[in-house]
Amino acid sequence: MAASSSASYAAWQRIWDQSQARLSSIREALHDESSPVPRVTRVGKLDAELLDQELVQVLQDPLAKALALLNSAFKGRFEPELALCIQLTLFKFSLWDTGASYGAKLQGLRYAIVPQSNGLPSFRLPRRLLLLHGAITMLVPYIHNRIRAHALSQAWPDAPSSDKRRKAWELLTRLESLHSTFTLLNFVAFLWNGRYRTLADRLLRMRLVSTQRITSRDVSYEFMNRQMVWHAFTEFLLFLLPLINTRAIGRRLAQLSQVSVASVIPQPIRSACGMTTGAEDKSRSGVKRGKYWSLPLDQCAICYQDSTTNLSDPAAALSSLATPGYVQSSGPPPDSTEGSDEEPPPFPIHTPYITDCGHTYCYVCITGRLMRTADEASGAGPGSTRWECLRCGEAVSTAERVQMEGIESEYGDEDATSFEFGSEDLDFTTDMSGSIGDDNESFSSE
pLDDT in tens, 303-342: 888 887 655 455 544 554 445 555 566 667 777 777 666 7
Q: Same domain, yes or no, for 159 and 275?
A: no
Give φ, ψ of 419 to 5 degrees: -145, 160
Residues forming beta bridges with residue 419, ordered by sequence position: 399
Q: Is residue 144 part of a domain?
A: yes
Return contacts of 423-429, CB within 8 angstroms, 24+ apart: 423/374, 423/385, 424/374, 426/371, 426/374
The pLDDT assigned to 44 comes to: 85
The alpha carbon dihedral of 122, 123, 128, 134 has a sign of positive
pLDDT at 444: 40
Distance CA 348, CA 362 (A): 8
| 81 and 134 in a common domain | yes
Burial class (CB in 10 A: 0-12, 13-18, 19+), 268: exposed
Residues 118 and 72 in one domain: yes
In a domain, 353, yes or no: yes
Instruction: Please measure the distance between the N-terminal and C-terminal CA atoms of the chain and give it in whole angstroms.
Output: 147
Which range, 208-217, 375-384, 389-398, has the best average confidence (pLDDT)?
389-398
* Nearest Cα residue to 350 out of 339, 363, 340: 363
| pLDDT of the residue at 358 | 87
The region of weakest confidence among 164-173, 191-200, 264-273, 405-414 is 405-414
State which of 9-18, 152-161, 214-223, 376-385 shows the largest mean pLDDT.
152-161
Of 85-89, 204-208, 308-312, 335-339, the range with the lowest mean pLDDT is 308-312
The answer to whether position 30 is within a domain reads: no
Average pLDDT of the residues in 36-46: 73
112 has which bridge partners?
207
In 3D space, the residue among 182, 89, 83, 96 whose CA is nearest the CA of residue 132 turns out to be: 96
Q: Please name the residues in contact with 221: beta carbons below 8 A apart, sequence gap of 6 or more.
A: none
Predicted pLDDT of residue 415: 47
Number of other residues whose CB lies within 10 A of the CB of residue 136: 16
Q: What is the DSSP letter of 137?
A: I
* Residues 70 and 210 both lie in one domain: yes
Are 85 and 138 in contact by the 8 Å Cβ rule? The answer is: no
User: Same structural domain for residues 354 and 436?
Assistant: yes
368: pLDDT strictly greater than 80: yes
What three-state secondary structure class fits 208?
strand
- Res 258: pLDDT: 59
Most confident of 9-13, 121-125, 237-241: 237-241
Residue 240 placed within a domain: yes
Given 181, 215, 249, the domain boundary residue is 215
CB-count exposure of residue 96 (10 Å: 0-12, 13-18, 19+): middle
Q: Are residues 294 and 273 in the same domain?
A: no
Least confident interval from 30-39, 41-50, 105-114, 239-248:
30-39
pLDDT of 424 > 60? The answer is no
Of 77-81, 175-179, 273-277, 374-378, which has the strongest mean pLDDT?
175-179
Helical pair 164-193 and 140-153, crossing angle rounded to 10 deg: 140
| Cα separation, 62 vs 79, whole angstroms | 12
Domain hosting residue 80, numbered range = 42-215
Q: Of 159, 186, 215, which one is at a domain's C-terminal end?
A: 215
62 and 196 in a single domain? The answer is yes
Contact 365, 305 (CB under 8 A): no
The stretch 283-309 carries a mean pLDDT of: 76
Q: Which of 121, 62, 133 is nearest to 95 (CA)?
A: 133
Residues 210 and 281 in one domain: no
Do the domain assignments include residue 205? yes
Whether residue 150 is found in the same domain as residue 277: no
Report field, pTM of the whole predicted structure over 0.85: no
Number of domains into which the chain is organized = 3
Q: Are residues 257 and 342 part of one domain?
A: no
- Write down which residue in 176, 192, 215 finishes a domain: 215
What DSSP element (H or E) covers 109? strand 109-113
Which DSSP helix (H) or strand (E) runs through 190?
helix 164-193
Least confident piece of the model among 180-184, 292-296, 329-333, 380-384 = 329-333
What does the pLDDT read at residue 209? 85
Give the chain's mean pLDDT: 76
Q: Is residue 281 very low, low, confident or very high in pLDDT (cuts 50, 70, 90)?
A: low
Mean pLDDT of 100-104: 89
Query: Got the DSSP string for 283-337?
Result: HHH-----TTTTS-TTB-HHHHHHHHH-TTSHHHHHHHHHSPPP---SSPPPSS-
Alpha-carbon distance of 159 to 146, in angstroms, equals: 19
Report the 10 Å Cβ neighbour count for 424.
9
Residues 6+ apart with CB under 8 A from 149: 80
Judge if 152 and 54 occupy the same domain: yes
Nearest CA among 109, 103, 93 for reference residue 53: 103
Residue 426 pLDDT greater than 90, yes or no? no
**Environment class of 166 (CB within 10 Å of its CB; exposed 0-12, middle 13-18, buried 19+):** middle
Quote the radius of gyration of the chain (alpha carbons, Å): 43
Q: Is residue 220 part of a domain?
A: no
pLDDT band at 15 (very low <50, low <70, confident <90, very high): confident
Lowest mean pLDDT among 13-22, 25-34, 108-117, 402-411: 402-411
Q: Reading across the β-sheet that carries 398-401, which strands appear in turn? A: 360-362, 352-355, 398-401, 419-420
Amino acid sitting at position 94: S
Question: Is 50 exceeded by the pLDDT of residue 432?
Answer: no
Based on the fold, state whether residues 275 and 296 are members of the same structural domain.
Answer: no
Q: 32 in a domain, yes or no?
A: no
The answer to whether position 317 is within a domain reads: no
